[in-house]
Homo-oligomer: A and B are copies of this chain.
Amino acid sequence: MNILFVGDVFGSAGRHIVREHLPHVVESNAVDLLIINGENAAGGFGLTPSLAEDLFDLGAHVITTGNHIWDKREIFDYMSVPADSHDRPRRVLRPANYAHGTPGFGFYQGALADGTEYAVMNMQGRVFMSACDDPFRKADELLSKITAKVILLDIHAEASSEKVALGWYLDGRVTAVLGTHTHIPTADERILPMGTAYQTDVGMSGPYDSVIGVEKELVLQRFLTGMPGKFEAAKGNPKMCAALIHCDPTTGRAHHIQRIMLGE
């Protein structure tokens, strides 16, 4: 079974490059399960219902997100659906370790057309980030409820230490632990000893002639002066970053992980 996870789609450049490459990547790799992190799809900041629909139209089974999930308020209502729904809005996740009562859900369990069950968990780190619940214990809690063997975690976090630690913590208990949020792909993809695919950061799918997606002049101005200024999504040098995982659907253990970075 093949799983494709696409890193943070950033702005229109990110959406275009994903639209360009996804069909042939999915087809040529016989992708069964497609997950896309969409937290930056809307101009770099958040996700709207209509952009979520676009990502589902591209074939996404689940959309994960992160700290930018609430940037666009239209998404609040969209994500407010019953827990047992399997409709698209139920398959847009926010980190599971956000406060109780936050709109939406942090994990989803569904089944592919052939009946194979899968689950996706979304979590946020706590090091150098806003306060949220313990992602290690939240993972334990979610895993106790999940019956699927094929389980993927998007750990949206800043610190490499926290992501790596979570990878070891879940090794052998999930199919893949994939990091997002730094917007830079890491070259440490591997299968951990107990069969969990791991990569510290998948990297964004967006404009790489930028500072992690944003127009570089605007970010440089911020670093140089500390003064406010509107951040706008850059356009140049778009690349789609993704991780392709091959796993055994009966055990959920991963056999192979491949890093993908495709440009124009």
Cβ of A164 under 8 Å from chain B: yes
Of the residues B134, B136, B187, contact of A187 by C-beta under 8 Å: B187
A133 near B130: Cβ-Cβ < 8 Å: no
Q: Knowing A131-B127, A184-B200, A185-B187 touch, does A225 contact B101 (C-beta < 8 A)?
A: yes
Interface residues of A in 6-39 (CB under 8 A from B): none
Q: Are B165 and A223 touching (Cβ within 8 A)?
A: yes
A203 at interface, CB cutoff 8 A: yes
Tell me, yes or no, whether A145 is within 8 Å of chain B by CB: no
Q: Are B220 and A168 in contact (CB under 8 A)?
A: yes
Query: Is residue A208 contacting chain B, with contact meaning CB distance below 8 A?
Result: yes
Stretch in A51-59, A80-88, A153-161 touching the partner: A153-161
Docked complex Cα distance between A168 and B211 (Å): 8
Specify the main secondary structure of chain A where it touches its partner.
loop
Tell whether A132 is near chain B: CB-to-CB under 8 Å. Answer: yes
Verify A208–B226 contact, CB threshold 8 A.
no
Query: Is B184 a contact of A164 with CB atoms below 8 Å?
Result: yes
Residues from 117 to 168 in A contacting B, C-beta threshold 8 Å = 126-128, 130-134, 136-137, 158-162, 164-165, 168
CA distance A183 to B188 in the complex (A): 10
Q: Is A262 an interface residue (CB 8 A)?
A: no
**A99 and B187: CB pair below 8 A?**
no
Task: Tell me, yes or no, whether A212 is within 8 Å of chain B by CB.
Answer: yes
Whether the Cβ atoms of A184 and B211 lie closer than 8 Å is no
The distance from the CB of A52 to the nearest CB of chain B, in whole angstroms, is 18
Question: Per-residue CB proximity of A201-212 to B under 8 Å, as 1/0?
Answer: 101000011111
Task: Tell me the bound Cα distance from A203 to B164 in angstroms.
Answer: 13
Report yes or no: A159 in contact with B162, Cβ–Cβ below 8 A.
no
Known: A168-B220, A185-B187, A203-B187. A161 touches B70 (CB 8 A): no
A160 adjacent to B183 (CB under 8 Å): yes
Q: Are B99 and A212 closer than 8 Å at their CB atoms?
A: no
A126–B137 contact, CB under 8 A?
no
B165 touches A99 (CB 8 A): no
Residue of B nearest to A193 (CB): B209
Contact A134 B136 (CB under 8 A): no
Asked if residues A182 and B160 are in contact (CB atoms below 8 Å), the reply is yes
Task: Say whether B70 contacts A137, CB under 8 Å.
Answer: no
Whether A1 sits at the interface, judged by CB under 8 Å, is no
**19 examples of A-B residue contacts, CB within 8 angstroms:** A70-B228, A73-B228, A98-B225, A98-B226, A99-B224, A99-B225, A130-B226, A136-B220, A137-B224, A161-B212, A164-B212, A164-B216, A165-B216, A165-B219, A169-B220, A184-B200, A186-B201, A187-B187, A187-B261
